[in-house]
Amino acid sequence: MGRKYFGTDGIRGLTNKAPMTPEIAMRVGQVAGAHFLRGDHRHRVVIGKDTRLSGYMVENALVAGFTSVGMDVVQFGPVPTPAVAMLTRSMRADLGVMISASHNPYYDNGIKLFGPDGFKLSDEDELAIEAALDVVPVLASAEHIGRARRVEDARGRYIHAAKMTFPDDLRLDGLRIVIDCAHGAAYQVAPSALWELGADVISIGVNPNGTNINDGCGSTHPEALQARVLSEQADIGIALDGDADRLIIVDEKGRVVDGDQLMALIAADWHRAGLLRGNGLVATVMSNMGLEKFLAGHGLDLHRAAVGDRYVLEMMRAGGFNIGGEQSGHIIMTDHGTTGDGLVASLQVLAALVRAGKPASEVLHQFDPYPQLLRNVRFSGGQPLADPKVKAVIAAAEAELGQSGRFVIRKSGTEPLIRVMAEGEDAALVERLVGAICDSVKEVCA
């Protein structure tokens, strides 16, 4: 069956417009709660959120839904997505929920669901929940309604868990770090963890007001971080997104380092230490060809999954890999967690930097990327990629690019966008061909 509510990363949309209304959120709580009522124990769901204003509304609706079917609820308040995944397991919960639209603006929100193992739900579980969302739920009897409570030390528990992934023999003393938390979920935990490990921490993006999350800051807008790294003469800059499951790094010269470079660094570091499993890593179809060439030079393989960290993780679990991720900065290390974790990934990068004893600009740029261009075209409906005119332009562009590069053209799973990416040896050719395809999409959407 088709998906009406779930995309590539849970349920996401414009606040107070379907599917992100309080009514649907409450129904998600009822249906997901009932789906995980398995066994005769007292059932529990844990809920975290980022700093969006609408988080209060969505959280309360979910609590009403879960308790109405007999699930107890534990509320964490603002915590990163990986904290919810970790605490779902450690608190023996039947289900974990993160209320966040990740890197999207404040007026969007979303619901991410984690199973009792801390992993995002399988397609089978999501489809079962989808099917039940339009069915009247069976509510608990009065004496079996669930209870709700808040846990105030969730952030401290996550900080401790994150620090435990950093090598015991290393410290961050003397390292000057600027961290941009995007006014999001990690605004307290990330600077605290770095400070506790000895770093000199300069924090930006740590004053959330409900509407400034990801607004000109964080991993999708690194310009403020670049400027601050240079003005503070910092050794490195770290940018997280709104729910802190991805990161982008800035070196001491103000240059941005993306997820492909970071995965290359971590994989090579782990390979030398005998820690890398699967003889390579899993990335997506969007990752640069330069990463593939770099790994091959170390005798390692690059395996490509569909876009979306859930698909990366599925391939990692199937193939026994312990590193995977996306160019955008989602990096999953299954030795340390069950989902992307910007803070934990940054600690692995910092460990490599400390061991090398060299400037970030010399350590973090592992390979020369192929010229790559990604452009997004917003559309209001229909299937523009199925239009004969667009298909003809794409076919002509693919023929002209030939074997010197590749295209990835797809509909976004989280936003009404057509994403057009190309890479190749000739940057000017890549730009011209991407422009032609984008123009054709705009024309049929007009």
Active site residues: 102
Place of tokens 């959280």: 59
Q: Is 151 exposed, middle or buried (0-12, 13-18, 19+ CB in 10 A)?
A: middle
Place of tokens 């300069």: 202
- Are 326 and 302 a contacting pair, CB within 8 Å? no
Residue 12 CA: distances (Å) to CA of 98, 141, 382, 384, 429: 11, 31, 19, 22, 35
- Are 96 and 87 a contacting pair, CB within 8 Å? yes
What angle, 0 to 180 degrees and rounded to 10, lies between the N-to-C axes of helices 154-163 and 81-90? 90
The β-bridge relationship of strands 95-99 and 44-49 is parallel
Closest by CA position to 217, among listed 93, 305, 106, 126: 106
DSSP 144-197: G---EEE-TTHHHHHHHHHHTTS-TT---TT-EEEEE-TTSTTTTHHHHHHHHT
Q: Count CA within 13 A, CB hemisphere, residue 424.
A: 23
